[in-house]
A and B are shown apart, each in its own frame.
Chain A
Amino acid sequence: MNRLWTVKLVMLALCLMLLIPSSVYADTDGSNVSIGVEWAGQYSGTGAPYEGNLDSSDEAVAGLYDIVSDPNTSWTWDFNFGNDYAWERDWKAAGRLGGDDSIYADDVDLAAWCGHGLGNNFLFNNQNDDWYATIGDMDMGDRDCEWILAFTCHFLQGTASNFGRAADGVHLICGYSTDMTVYPNSGSRFAYWAKYPYGVRVAWYRYGKDTQQAIDQNIARTFGANASVNDYLWGYGSVSSDPPFYSNSPGSYGIWDTKLNW
């Protein structure tokens, strides 16, 4: 009899566990959902090709920690490397080019960069291995990454043929096709809208409208799979399946431009 009651209690507990929504989210790659950010603010005196400092780049991406702080989800903060510790190698394709993206930029679900960008690249302040992480260096999404936020200028300038090859399974890449302004609250504004929750593309648009100057050069751009356009961050809404590589299926991708505060 006692044993029967024990079995009943265990069954009841199991049923309750199934009914109560879990706050722990795992992505389809099987890992817990995580954020990794890199930034560069100190360029002067480093020998970098461009030497203007960008003082608020650290705060700009640190604001994404607001997502991790949300008690309703289980996002984790994987890495936050700045200045001397932010490396091109961390974004470079592991298999094809011998980089470390499989343990850094492509080993998180949301990867972000803030620093100078001079046209389809990120500019670092050291040469580990190179000053520039270029589009050609990146094979994002073949490991884990679903979304990239590029708080930098010109990362998505040109056409999809210029930047599409970086999309190897990543769902959306959010950036600018033009100049932009780095504000300390950039990441926290994105986090604010993504947590509301709104989709990643909408959160990027809203962060842009909240912060960017009313000059006609500012165009926030989201590039990614058509099927992923309404992705939410894990735990906040639906997330599409990993898309085919851009190089295999360019027609299934799109570019969404939003002219900000025109």
Chain B
Amino acid sequence: MKRIKSIVLGLIIAGLVAIPAYQIIGSSNGAQQKSTKNQLPKITVEPLAKTGSDGSFSNLSAGDIKPTIPGKAIVYKVKTPIITKENVSAQALKLGISGTARETSVDISVKSPTGDYIVDKESGADVYMTKDFELQAFPLKTLLSDETYRKLATDFLNEKGLMKGDAVFKGVNRGNTYTSGDGSINQAPFMIEIGFSRKALNGIEWAGVGPRITVQFGENGKIIGADSVWREVEPFKEYPVISFSEALDKVKAGNAAIYNVGLNDSGVVEGAKLVYMSDPVGSHQEYVIPYYELKGKSGSGKSFIAYTRAIPENLITEAPASHSSAPQGSKRK
């Protein structure tokens, strides 16, 4: 009997000790979570873009791949570009465009009869367009080799001060083509483009509209235009990255931008990696965050691509991109 009393007493004492200890541990964990949340503020991004073809998956599998995805990645903050009338005028002059710099709420530009140079104040994206660019619409008579176009573009960018230090050659675009309505001319290039992208950041490549530098060529290797989207960034904080299977679930749930997929299609992922996303020109991008890029084959055998955010959704705040509005109308009939 005495032994039973001792056991009961022991259990009570153990319980009295254990419960507060558990509470302490629990509250400690909570504080840690709270502390983690405090250390990682929510990232403001634009809502996910949607494709116009309404592609979706009813069945999406990982196939045989087991991608190596880091558990954390750095989120970058976009630096505000320094755009002044003086530096726009100076750059325009290097391009052979002289005139008075004109400033609006969105850009600073110099216009001349031979061409224009325009810089977007929000993103720093710039466009150099000659009159030849505007009129270049029919097949080029003389096409040069890829190597020649690349050298001409590289020399031009270096000479005009438009090349960026961490730019890497991307490729030659012969996909700007003219096809006659009767089919007698089929996809003949009317303009050649040479592109450069930006070196990977900590091993993570870029996607979206940039970063890019493009040089456009008209007849016989003549440079008729150039443009760039190159937001400068600085490290903000390291954020956790969701797992590949979580990313797969998000894409299946439609929480992604999905290209080249039918309605309720099936798909097998053949490759997955993280990419940093560059937003459209004309939108305010505050942070550059990692996305999952999933590539694979759909049920119909087409190559698909899907992007979904790699940062946990509880660390994301969506802000509407813009607020264009226009009067409605009423039916006349």
Contacts and interface: CB of A to CB of B under 8 A. Distances in A.
Interface stretch (B7-15, B93-101, B181-189): B181-189
A115 interface: yes
B124 interface: no
Nearest to A160: B181
Interface string A231-262: 00000000000000010001111111111011
Contact of B181 (A114, A153, A255): A255
Contact of A56 (B138, B254, B281, B321): B321
Interface stretch (A6-14, A130-138, A141-149, A196-204): A196-204
Interface residues of B, number: 70
Contacts of B305: 215, 217
A197 to B, nearest CB: 10
A85 B331 contact: yes
A255 B321 contact: no
Nearest to A219: B175
B239 interface: no
Contacts of B263: 49-50, 52
A215 B180 CA distance: 26
Interface in B296-315: 303, 305, 307
A97 interface: no
A152 B52 contact: yes
Contact of A77 (B173, B320, B326): B326
B176 A192 contact: no
A108 B179 CA distance: 28
A159 B183 contact: yes
B52 A56 contact: no
B207 A213 contact: yes
A85 to B, nearest CB: 7
Contacts of A105: none
Interface stretch (B43-51, B66-74, B78-86): B43-51
A187 interface: yes
A210 interface: yes
B144 interface: no
A262 B53 contact: no
A8 B214 CA distance: 59
B176 A210 contact: no
Interface in B76-132: 106, 116, 118, 125, 127, 129
Given A116-B54, A210-B281, A198 B134 contact: yes
Nearest to B320: A184
25 contacts: A43-B54, A49-B263, A56-B321, A59-B325, A61-B326, A64-B326, A81-B328, A118-B53, A154-B52, A179-B51, A180-B52, A181-B51, A183-B49, A183-B280, A185-B324, A196-B116, A212-B209, A214-B212, A217-B303, A223-B181, A229-B137, A254-B181, A259-B175, A261-B209, A262-B170
Given A49-B263, A60-B324, 16 more contacts: A85-B328, A85-B331, A180-B51, A189-B280, A196-B118, A209-B227, A209-B281, A213-B208, A213-B259, A213-B307, A214-B209, A250-B182, A251-B181, A253-B181, A258-B176, A261-B209
